[in-house]
Structure 1
Amino acid sequence: MTLPRQRGLTEQTADAAIDTACRMLRLRLRLRLRLRLRLPSIRNEFADIADRAVKDQMTYRGFLAELLMAECDDRARRRSERRIKAAGFPREKSLRTFDFGANPNLDPATIHTLASCEWIKKGQPLCLIGDSGTGKSHMLIALGAEAVMKGYRVRYTLATKLVNELVEAADEKQLNKTIARYGRVDLLCIDELGYMELDRHGAELLFQVLTEREEKNSVAIASNESFGGWTKTFTDPRLCAAIVDRLTFNGTITETGTDSYRLSSTRARAEQPAKAG
């Protein structure tokens, strides 16, 4: 949470800001045996804020509010950075950098509604279905990043990597612990589901993760196969049907289409020099 910043705070606004900042900076004494109060932003920015307070003729309340808000803002930024790192995104993607004009199958209004993260709050699933190059992974990572910025715990993984981790955990008798770890995050993003066939054991382990999260925490997947083609990945028809049910019940299904916007963009760039000549 970032506190609102403005110059010339009224005494009442300053009091409210100070109260909010102090609540945000309050240490959780019940969880800590040693009390250590670190305020790096106050330490680093104190002089600049003090000089600005003199220049702007701030009241004592206004100066204190500015000082505490600087610490809160910096803590919020560092917390987001830690969550982004913990999410394990393979690259940086955002909704801002996605070219909706190149893929008319994706409705900007729908995507920005998803970016509000209400579906995560409700523990609902999201399925992004479409061919390679249509923006599935971009959307998956970008929506995951939006969730991180709103304070949700997110984890990104490839489907095959997740299954391999579960198989290794089962061999090492750590399966319950691993499933519980994946069950705790608010949003689990599974990319490239449907690219490779999974044996029955691997599919069953993946099903356990989905069952652990069902109607509690959200799962978002990206797949290049329509649900009818998932029998290539999950060869047991009953298990396949159960997995589809877990990933679609009360969820959102967004089809990204069949035309690669990456290929279209490459062709457009290649044609530009030819037209210029």
Structure 2
Amino acid sequence: MINQRHRGLTEQAADAAVDTACRVLRLPTLRAQYSAIAAGAERDQMTYRGFLAELLMAECEERNRRRSERRIHAAGFPRQKWVKDFDFGANPHVEPPVVQALATCDWIRKGHPLCLIGDSGTGKSHLLIALGAEAAMAGFRVRYVLAAKLVNELVEAADDKQLNKTIARYGRVDLLCIDELGYMELDRRGAELLFQVLTEREEKNSVAIASNESFSGWTKTFTDPRLCAAIVDRLTFNGTIIETGTDSYRLARTRSHQAATANG
């Protein structure tokens, strides 16, 4: 049983003092959970040190959670996706051990790239967002962007003489996730600007891309063969390549649902 040291404070006065101190010190979680943790500590006959540890751990855990939420929000993901929700059974092309290894974020610490290649509906964007979210949760600065949007932003920045500033901003994040690369043809200027971003990040910070085109088809996106080869080199050197296949499990799931509804 925890015995309160006598300092002339009643229980009510002590609670009020804790509440005031938490406000001044900006400890909102400790303030919110103090009474419940104190009651639990008394019930479990914790030592003073154990009680203090419980309070501080609760505050730290909540701050970590809020920081993770802020990093995920700052990444600009269009929707929430998590590795644990990926249906490996529906896509046998994707090996769970490979994805689980990527979820440890060791490749980001090393500045290595990741390429997710496959047709629409095969899970590449899910994995791109989910692995980006894992990185944000682990404390890395992450930015998600559609390839077309990134190129348009770079072109506008170049026209406004803000290109170096924009490239530097994209160069600072620990992981840059570029989605839908290959959905549209890029003119030489757009491709060169994208190449500058990749060069800025080369072997320093990671890039992860999702594309519906195999590398052999990238000449339709990057029409200059030499520039195309250089971009592929930047995105594959020391990297991981996951081919998600050509069979859309989203389409298969839709058809299965429709068949079940019709038979029902």
> Quick one: which of 178, 196, 200 aligns to 2:166?
178
Helix, strand or coil at the partner of 1:235 = coil
> Quick one: which of 119, 127, 138 aligns to 1:139?
127
Helix, strand or coil at the partner of 2:94 = coil
Mapped to 2, the partners of 1:165 and 1:220 lie a distance apart of 19
Identity across the alignment (%): 78
> Quick one: which of 243, 251, 256 aligns to 1:268?
256
Mapped to 2, the partners of 1:171 and 1:39 lie a distance apart of 47
> Quick one: which of 83, 89, 95 aligns to 2:71?
83
Superposition TM-score, scaled by structure 1 size: 0.85
Matched, 1:232 2:237: no
- Counterparts in 2 of 1:198-213, with a 5 A limit? 198-213=186-201
Mapped to 2, the partners of 1:186 and 1:111 lie a distance apart of 19
User: Which string of whole-angstrom CA distances, capped at 9 and with x for unpartnered residues, describes residues 90-148 of structure 1?
Assistant: 00011121111111111111111111111111100000001111111001001111111
Helix, strand or coil at the partner of 2:196 = helix
User: Unpaired segments of 5 or more residues in structure 1?
Assistant: 1-35
Matched, 1:163 2:135: no
Shift of 1:63: 0.6
User: Which string of whole-angstrom CA distances, capped at 9 and with x for unpartnered residues, describes residues 195-245 of structure 1?
Assistant: 001111111110000000000000000000011111111111111111000
Report what 1:59 is aligned to.
47
Mapped to 2, the partners of 1:211 and 1:225 lie a distance apart of 21
> Quick one: which of 127, 136, 146 aligns to 2:115?
127
Could you say which structure has the larger radius of gyration? 2
Mapped to 1, the partners of 2:39 and 2:100 lie a distance apart of 41
Report what 2:142 is aligned to.
154
User: Unpaired segments of 5 or more residues in structure 2?
Assistant: 1-23
Helix, strand or coil at the partner of 1:100 = coil
Structure 1 letter corresponding to 2:219: T
Mapped to 2, the partners of 1:88 and 1:256 lie a distance apart of 24
Superposed CA RMSD: 1.1
Report what 1:8 is aligned to.
none
- Counterparts in 2 of 1:15-94, with a 5 A limit? 37-94=25-82
Report what 1:29 is aligned to.
none
Helix, strand or coil at the partner of 1:103 = coil
Matched, 1:241 2:229: yes
